[in-house]
């Protein structure tokens, strides 16, 4: 139990200290890159953009604060709950909150894309003329 309450310093945790602050910086920068690419790629799909928002902010806040907390020597007892809360929020969004919303959005996209054209008996569709051109009904 003393390991959890000791200050997180290079003297107390020589092999874990460097990994924590480097991982925090790398993961935060990676999340920013993925988020910026996703904003351009999925701009026409608002549900997927919402999912990226829900994943981006917990990861950036969590892993952006971890390097600061490791450098000032916060105990592991405070670091691990912060990391678990941030990653848990992102996992909740990915696995529980957004799969039904994405499935509903996909169904709507399919419905809009594959609506059958109107039949020839419908008045909405212009009938061809003997010359082959389509005339507009008035």
- In sequence order, what DSSP letters do the residues of the chain get, joined into one string? -HHHHS---TTT-HHHHHHHHHHHHHHHHHHHHHHHHHHHHTTT-HHHHHHHHHHHHHHHHHHHHHHHHHHHT--HHHHHHHHHHHHHHHHHIIIIISHHHHHHHHHHHHHHHTPPPPPTTSTTSPPBPTTSPBPPP-
Closest CA to 21 of 88, 68, 77: 68
Rounded mean pLDDT of 92-116?
90
pTM of the model: 0.72
- pLDDT (mean) for 2-29: 89
Higher pLDDT, 133 or 82: 82
Residue 115: band (very low, low, confident or very high) from pLDDT cuts 50, 70, 90 = confident
Q: What is the pLDDT of residue 4?
A: 82
Task: For residues 54 and 9, give the distance between their C-alpha atoms in angstroms, rounded to a whole number.
Answer: 32
**Which pLDDT value is given to residue 2?**
82
pLDDT of residue 51: 93
In the block, tokens 């008996």 appear at: 121
As a whole number, mean pLDDT of residues 25-47 equals 94
pLDDT tens-digit map of 39-96:
999 999 999 999 999 999 999 999 999 999 988 989 989 999 999 999 999 999 999 9
- Taking the domains of the chain in order of start, what are their residue ranges? 2-113
For residues 121-129, average pLDDT: 61
């Amino acid at each position: 139990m003393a390991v959890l309450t000791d200050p997180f310093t290079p003297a107390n945790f020589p092999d874990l200290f460097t990994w924590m602050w480097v991982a925090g910086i790398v993961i935060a920068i990676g999340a920013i890159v993925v988020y910026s690419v996703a904003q351009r790629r999925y701009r026409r799909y608002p549900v997927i953009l919402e999912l990226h928002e829900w994943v981006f902010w917990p990861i950036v806040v969590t892993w952006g604060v971890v390097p600061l907390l490791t450098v000032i020597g916060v105990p592991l007892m405070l670091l691990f709950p912060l990391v678990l809360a941030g990653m848990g929020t992102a996992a909740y969004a990915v696995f529980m909150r957004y799969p039904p919303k994405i499935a509903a959005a996909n169904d709507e996209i399919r419905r809009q894309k594959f609506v059958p054209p109107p039949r020839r008996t419908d008045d909405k569709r212009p009938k061809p003329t003997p010359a082959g051109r389509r005339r507009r009904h008035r």
